[in-house]
Structure 1
Amino acid sequence: MRRTLPAVAAMLCLLAAPALPAVLPAAPAAADAPPAVPSDLTATEVSFRGGGGLVMHGTVLTSASTSASTSASAPARSPRPGVVLVHGSGAGVPRTKLMGEAVEFAREGLSVLVYDKRSEGYSLFRRSFSQLADDALGAVATLRSQPGVDPAKVGVWGFSEGGWVAPIAASRSEDIAFLVLVGANGLPPLRQQTWAVAAGLRKAGVAGSLVERAELNLYRTIADGGMFPEPYYDPEPTLAAVRQPVLAIWGTHDLLTPPQESPPVVARALERGGNRHYTFRFFPGADHAAHQSPDGGVTRLPELAPGYADLVGSWAGDVTAGRAPTSGTSGPAPTQASPTVPVEPPAWWESAPMQLAALVLLVVAFAAYPVVALVRRLRRRPPVPATRAARLLSAGGLAAVLGSFSYLFYVVMTGGKLAAPGPVAAGRPLVWLALQALAVASVAATVLTALAWRRSRGTAPRGERVRLGLLLAGGVVFLPWALYWGLLLP
């Protein structure tokens, strides 16, 4: 998968140009100014080494009343539990993104370490869950060494992408006492992502080939081109290796992780490994991050779901006191409008290099026809009669190819939660219907051009026969290409 040519990625970036996220935010080279914290909490700035020896920076939050007890004049108290927060996706995500969770968990009696996520080694083309897990382990070691923290009671909390990362860390180290997962996915990343975008399109009223074929195939091509790292990562073997108690939380209106399918997968994996110390909780009216949402998961409010922070604090207190729960699930059933579908790696004939080759051929074949005519006119040579079918094939085919890729990338990058496909009629966006009409017209023009070429091949100049032959080659390749991308399907 990583063997694909850089040109493939360059081609995809070019076509995606205003759609793909151009530049991911970079992590700070040095520690930023300490984040502001409420007066009832104390903040300690820390640095540690993550995967590959990268120096990382974070903040440890602790209740001020608890911290005060560690002074010489204060009565002795039992060391407190701690938790390390692991970010969701994105490069260089600052610790402030999880400060709401950190504050609330600290108020529940935990010492909380939240750190800036790495940007080095994390980009559109490169990502390693294993390396991110090493970052989390570096943070765990740092939190375990903090004054007032019981080193035997430090756990890891992972959100979204962190739901793949945190179990890796837990499976590698007995120093981790417990595991909390929020919006976690038991499915491979590419399967989750294609579902999220498809679900957003369906919510916007889209049906048919755009959502059932084109969106899925585009993601497979992107992944094969190296622009979707870790696409087929299987989290089940790692979850089966987790021995610590697990608290898994989902919002009932999670629009980014399939909330009905993921919990059974997570439970099955834990049970397979003999771990029955897990608690699953669904929070009503909450989104992917278990924050309150007023509109079914589209908008994320700053406030956590009622009872979420209290659950984390009390559950962590119980398990670190030796009262590990047995398996149990509570809360209302989540909403998932459509099931996920398996996403297989593309065969050789549909791989990113083959898609690039087909794209180049189609663009050259369709664009060469008017370019040659323009060159002849500039050189003041007599024009060669052109049929309307040939002109239609050249213009329509080129517009269908470039237009469909541009629209697909736009749809993919605006999909998820609330897609914006434009006006929809009969379950099809008007833009997609127009592209499908161009595709049908181009196929018809291919047939008519072939008939005209056959009639005139004995009388037309050799250069014109070559030009029409190249145009027809593009038309012949366009037919299976358009079928593959759903332009010729309902």
Structure 2
Amino acid sequence: MSLPLALWAVALSAVVLSAGPAHAAPGGLTTTEVSFSGDGGVVLRGTVLAPASATRRRPALVMVQGAGTRGRGELRAEAEAFARLGIVTLIYDKRTIGYSLFHRDYSVLADDALAALRLMRARADVDPARLGLWAQSEGAWVASLAAARSADPKFLITVGAVGSTPAAQTAWGYGQFLRHAGVSGSLPRTMQETGLRLLVGAGLFPEADYDPVPAWQNVHQPVLAQWGEFDREALPAESSRIIRQALERGGDTRYTIRFVPGVRHDLNLTADDGFDRIDSLPPGYGEFEASWIDGLAHDVPPATVGTVPQPNQMSRPLTPSAWYESPWLHLAVFALLLAAFAGYPVTAAVRRVLGRRGAPLVRRPARWLAALGLTTTLGSLLYLCFMLATAANVVGPVVAGRPLPWLVLQVLTVATVVTTLATALAWRRHRRSLDRAGRVRLGVLLTGGLVFLPWALYWGLLLP
């Protein structure tokens, strides 16, 4: 099949796969289950919500989700609000083929969004001249790419768009939530720099260095970019400035920058200045967007609506990793620590079965070193993984500026260093009473204790 013919086939498949009856929905709406072919032929399924009494072509939206694969239901309330205002709205499930926690490609997702637009453009109740994209959070990176490469979207509406790289934005968000919880000391730096650099270096942070500015510079459609007053994730003041400047550099002055009072990152209500996860839309949700779309028939002068939030912290680019931050080196160090600390009790059990015992005065501090080192190493890994996975949103009790688990780990770290010294002194004092196997066992254990010291310093466990 030739390339032009293949392109036509993809375009037509968005219509062919869309067959589905319309059903009545609450509030005078109809819903239609649809499917269409996205990038690479992946079939995506969605729901179109429309006014039940559609007698003319109406404006329409394709809604692009933020990060994750929670499904179209995540945006159902917003879609119903738009449909009640006379806007035909499509919500669809994000692909799971080619998109996961550790792999994503915004270019692929942009092609999916354009395929969804082709589906909507073929509907009899949609006005193609008033058909646009609505995108939230990560979806704004996707939608701006789609708008930059195609004239199909006639306008672009974003919620919580980020103007920096994903890595810088994530670090900034960690800082917001940790500061709100009253956390200070070494943990914020460990989360914002050390942990993120290791994730990026290990390939576990997809699209970490994606720069959204080139795409925004190539957007030439009218843009409504919105942020909540209490957006703690998208750097609203900084992102709005970056996006506005990018649009102007590309020659697009048909934009509206809007800051919505009383709401958080996704424009839902908040009872904790944006640090909670309430799913509740404010009264009149969607009315500004509907009015803005109606106004596109006229010129859209550049405008800023609302008060720009004052940033309490600017984002910083993630510094390049040093040679000692190689993921393979860290994996090797972690394996060495586990082998050294866990190996001592294992070999002790074997020696006990064989009727052999070590020197009593050395055995006691060595046992403590093995137990403390193993507990601290495994505990630190599990806690940092938990904090990274929850984006520092679940901190727990804070004591002396430290989350209680982190404080416990720091105490255990100091105890591990002390028992390393005690074991080394005991070994030196009683080394002549040890057999060769005992000296080897203690040598391996002490090697783990010595390696543990710089490892703990690097991860901030020995820092204030």
Corresponding residue number in structure 2 for 1:409? 385
Q: Give the C-alpha shift of residue 442 in structure 1.
A: 2.0
Corresponding residue number in structure 1 for 2:96? 119
Corresponding residue number in structure 2 for 1:100? 77
Corresponding residue number in structure 1 for 2:456? 482
**1:248-259 aligned within 5 A:** 248-259=225-236
Q: Give the C-alpha shift of residue 90 in structure 1.
A: 1.2
Assess if the C-alpha contact under 8 Å between 1:100 and 1:302 holds in 2.
no
SS in 1 for 2:304: strand
Of 141, 160, 181 in structure 2, the residue corresponding to residue 183 of structure 1 is 160
Q: Give the C-alpha shift of residue 331 in structure 1.
A: 0.9
Q: Deviations over 1:262-296 (max 9, x none)?
A: 11111122122222211111111111111222332
Corresponding residue number in structure 1 for 2:195? 218
Of 442, 445, 448 in structure 2, the residue corresponding to residue 471 of structure 1 is 445
Corresponding residue number in structure 1 for 2:11? none
Q: Does 1:354 align with 2:342?
A: no
Q: Does 1:84 align with 2:84?
A: no
* Distance across 2 between alignment mates of 1:34 and 1:190: 42
Gaps of 5+ in 1: 1-29, 71-78
SS in 2 for 1:57: strand
User: Residues 354 and 158 (structure 1 numbering): CA distance in 2 closer, same or farther, change over 3 Å?
Assistant: same
* Distance across 1 between alignment mates of 2:219 and 2:375: 52
Corresponding residue number in structure 1 for 2:32? 44
Assess if the C-alpha contact under 8 Å between 1:207 and 1:427 holds in 2.
yes
* Distance across 2 between alignment mates of 1:32 and 1:297: 39
Q: Deviations over 1:47-105 (max 9, x none)?
A: 2111111111222222233x1x25xxxxxxxx3222110011112x3222212221222
Corresponding residue number in structure 1 for 2:371? 395
Corresponding residue number in structure 1 for 2:302? 327
Q: Deviations over 1:354-403 (max 9, x none)?
A: 21111100111111122211111112224433254433322222121111
Q: Give the C-alpha shift of residue 181 in structure 1.
A: 0.5
* Distance across 2 between alignment mates of 1:331 and 1:64: 34
- The residue identity in structure 1 corresponding to 2:347 is V
Corresponding residue number in structure 1 for 2:6? none
SS in 2 for 1:261: helix
- The residue identity in structure 2 corresponding to 1:59 is T
User: Residues 422 and 168 (structure 1 numbering): CA distance in 2 closer, same or farther, change over 3 Å?
Assistant: same
Q: Give the C-alpha shift of residue 344 in structure 1.
A: 3.2
Corresponding residue number in structure 1 for 2:13? none
* Distance across 1 between alignment mates of 2:209 and 2:437: 49
Indicate the RMSD between aligned Cα atoms, in angstroms: 2.4
Q: Does 1:384 align with 2:362?
A: no
* Distance across 2 between alignment mates of 1:38 and 1:407: 45
* Distance across 1 between alignment mates of 2:169 and 2:398: 25
Assess if the C-alpha contact under 8 Å between 2:38 and 2:115 holds in 1.
yes
- The residue identity in structure 2 corresponding to 1:402 is L
% identity of equivalent residues: 49
Assess if the C-alpha contact under 8 Å between 1:180 and 1:247 holds in 2.
yes
Q: Normalising by structure 1, what TM-score?
A: 0.85
Corresponding residue number in structure 1 for 2:8? none
Which has the larger displacement, 341-350 or 268-277?
A: 341-350
* Distance across 1 between alignment mates of 2:451 and 2:124: 68
Q: Give the C-alpha shift of residue 335 in structure 1.
A: 5.9
Corresponding residue number in structure 2 for 1:434? 408
**1:306-321 aligned within 5 A:** 306-319=283-296, 321=297
Q: Deviations over 1:301-353 (max 9, x none)?
A: 5543345411111111222x1x2422221213336544333223433421222
Q: Deviations over 1:394-425 (max 9, x none)?
A: 22221211111122223333445xx3333222
Q: Does 1:197 align with 2:185?
A: no
SS in 2 for 1:260: helix
Q: Give the C-alpha shift of residue 35 in structure 1.
A: 7.9
- The residue identity in structure 2 corresponding to 1:62 is A
- The residue identity in structure 2 corresponding to 1:88 is G
Of 283, 286, 291 in structure 1, the residue corresponding to residue 263 of structure 2 is 286
Which has the larger displacement, 130-139 or 399-408?
A: 399-408
Assess if the C-alpha contact under 8 Å between 1:83 and 1:156 holds in 2.
yes
SS in 2 for 1:286: strand
Q: Give the C-alpha shift of residue 430 in structure 1.
A: 2.8
Which has the larger displacement, 173-182 or 34-43?
A: 34-43
Assess if the C-alpha contact under 8 Å between 2:190 and 2:460 holds in 1.
yes
User: Residues 435 and 170 (structure 1 numbering): CA distance in 2 closer, same or farther, change over 3 Å?
Assistant: same
SS in 2 for 1:377: helix
* Distance across 2 between alignment mates of 1:90 and 1:118: 10
Q: Give the C-alpha shift of residue 454 in structure 1.
A: 4.0
Assess if the C-alpha contact under 8 Å between 1:215 and 1:412 holds in 2.
no
Assess if the C-alpha contact under 8 Å between 1:170 and 1:244 holds in 2.
yes
Of 244, 247, 253 in structure 2, the residue corresponding to residue 270 of structure 1 is 247
Assess if the C-alpha contact under 8 Å between 1:48 and 1:139 holds in 2.
yes
- Structure of higher RCO (CA pairs closer than 8 Å, 6+ residues apart): 1
Assess if the C-alpha contact under 8 Å between 2:81 and 2:285 holds in 1.
no
* Distance across 2 between alignment mates of 1:47 and 1:249: 29
Q: Give the C-alpha shift of residue 458 in structure 1.
A: 5.3
* Distance across 2 between alignment mates of 1:478 and 1:301: 42
Q: Give the C-alpha shift of residue 227 in structure 1.
A: 2.7
Assess if the C-alpha contact under 8 Å between 1:163 and 1:182 holds in 2.
yes
Corresponding residue number in structure 1 for 2:396? 422
Q: Normalising by structure 2, what TM-score?
A: 0.89
Question: Number of residues paired by the alignment?
Answer: 446
**1:13-52 aligned within 5 A:** 37-52=25-40
